[in-house]
């Protein structure tokens, strides 16, 4: 609170409502701690750590440079960005059938599934196929995904699908000739100087990594929480990326066309513009206005911003109209997979929206 009062004295906005929301969530047991970073008109107006990074096996305080398992934020940041880069470079088209680049994928009626369907979660694929399909490693898992049947004709429904983004990760590899993690590192993270963003972080970083749940009776630390990504070796199109609030701020500045750019303005527009899907709006890898829009809160204009959540307790919301970014990173699944941060996502977004609209 003292820090926030100091900011107010310097002419910065009073975001003590964010403090209150996060501290209440920690008291409720919704998460052990959090890092919140808010950008407004390319200025960091809040960058703060709250609570504990770890509760087990020993308590450790949260710090602003904590590295988090981003879970499904992997989808837009690593996979989606890689896909639109390949489109920008003429290697891929939105209306390409997946089978053009992966012939085996056409099996069992999937020949009409296009890249755009996968990005919008309208492919007709299942949300998640059986965990047992991944027990023999990534190569066999990909073969089994290619053999799946559709649940609905492409383009006729919206159903959020991890499988669809695993397919997109495979497309990145087939089109670029590089593994997804290598392509994203060389073409996204390194150019943006996202120094702590990577799949499969090194053991030397464990002292800064937020632990998640438990696997085989032990706390997960420095390994991806998602069981399918874990069985694929920690690299998959839907989950596996680790990062910090500062690195994500660099990435979001790029989307708002500030700072270092790795995408042309027209590619950013292609990537983030709202598109109608059955029952709502999405963009190419981002949520816009669906049941997944809790990070927008109730005050930002519906249908204009974009963002995404991650199962582990992470989220981003970008409001281009006000040039605002809200990054909330928690490890709400630590230590027992029981936390819930939907409420604080809304509360923080509402608090920020009221400030930036003044």
Look at residue 11 in the predicted model and tell me its pLDDT. Answer: 52
pLDDT digits (tens, 9 = 90+) for 1-49: 333 333 333 456 788 999 999 999 999 999 999 999 999 999 999 999 9
The answer to whether 191 touches 182, Cβ cutoff 8 Å, is no
| Residue 207 sits in the same domain as residue 299 | yes
Determine the structural domain holding residue 210 and report its residue range: 2-68+198-227+240-356
- pLDDT of 24 reads 98
Please give the model's pTM, rounded to 2 decimal places. 0.95
Residues 127 and 208 in one domain: no
Predicted pLDDT of residue 289: 97
* pLDDT at residue 12, as a whole number: 65
Instruction: Decide if 235 is inside a domain.
Output: no
Same domain, 345 and 218: yes
Instruction: Answer yes or no: do 10 and 62 share one domain.
Output: yes
Q: What pLDDT shows up at residue 127?
A: 98
Q: Which residues of the chain have pLDDT under 70?
A: 1-12
- 227-279 per-position pLDDT tens digit: 999 999 999 999 999 999 999 999 999 999 987 889 999 999 999 999 999 99
Give me 21's structure tokens: 């929301």
Instruction: Specify the 3-state DSSP secondary structure of 163.
Output: helix
Query: Are both 161 and 282 inside the same structural domain?
Result: no
Pair 281, 289: CB distance under 8 Å: yes
CATH number at residue 323: 3.40.710.10
Q: Are residues 147 and 94 in the same domain?
A: yes
Task: Go through the chain and tell me how many residues it has.
Answer: 358
Pairing label, strands 275-277, 324-330: unpaired
DSSP run (H or E) holding 2: helix 2-9
Overall number of domains in the chain: 2
Which token pair is 134? 């991944």
Q: Is residue 211 part of a domain?
A: yes
* 112 shares a domain with 260: no
pLDDT number for residue 45: 96
CATH of the domain at 174: 1.20.58
Q: Are residues 174 and 209 in the same domain?
A: no
């Amino acid at each position: 609170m003292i820090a926030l009062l100091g900011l107010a004295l310097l002419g910065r906005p009073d975001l003590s409502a964010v403090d209150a929301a996060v501290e209440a969530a920690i008291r409720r047991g919704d998460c052990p701690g959090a890092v919140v970073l808010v950008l407004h008109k390319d200025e960091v107006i809040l960058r703060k750590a709250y609570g504990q990074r770890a509760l087990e096996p020993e308590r450790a305080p949260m710090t602003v440079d904590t590295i988090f398992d981003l879970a499904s934020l992997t989808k837009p940041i690593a996979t989606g960005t890689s896909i639109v880069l390949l489109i920008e470079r003429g290697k891929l088209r939105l209306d390409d059938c997946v089978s053009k680049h992966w012939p085996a994928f056409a099996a069992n009626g999937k020949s009409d599934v296009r890249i755009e369907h996968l990005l919008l979660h309208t492919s007709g694929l299942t949300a998640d196929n059986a965990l047992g399909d991944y027990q023999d490693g990534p190569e066999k898992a990909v073969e089994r995904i290619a053999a799946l049947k559709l649940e609905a004709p492409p383009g006729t429904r919206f159903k959020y699908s991890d499988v669809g983004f695993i397919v997109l990760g495979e497309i990145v590899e087939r089109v670029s000739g590089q593994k997804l993690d290598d392509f994203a590192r060389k073409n996204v993270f390194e150019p943006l100087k996202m120094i702590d963003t990577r799949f499969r972080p090194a053991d030397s970083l464990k002292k800064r990594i937020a632990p998640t749940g438990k696997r085989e009776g032990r706390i997960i630390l420095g390994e991806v929480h998602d069981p399918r990504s874990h069985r694929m070796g920690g690299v998959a199109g839907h989950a596996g990326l680790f990062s910090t609030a500062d690195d994500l701020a660099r990435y979001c500045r790029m989307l708002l066309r500030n700072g270092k750019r790795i995408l042309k303005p027209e590619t950013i527009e292609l990537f983030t513009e709202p598109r109608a899907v059955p029952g709502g709006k999405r963009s190419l890898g981002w949520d816009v206005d669906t049941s997944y829009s809790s990070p927008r809160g109730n005050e930002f204009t519906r249908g204009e911003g974009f963002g995404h959540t991650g199962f582990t307790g992470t989220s981003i919301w970008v409001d281009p109209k006000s040039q605002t970014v809200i990054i909330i990173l928690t490890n709400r699944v630590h230590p027992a997979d029981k936390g819930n941060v939907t409420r604080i996502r809304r509360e923080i977004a509402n608090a920020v929206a009221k400030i930036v609209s003044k």
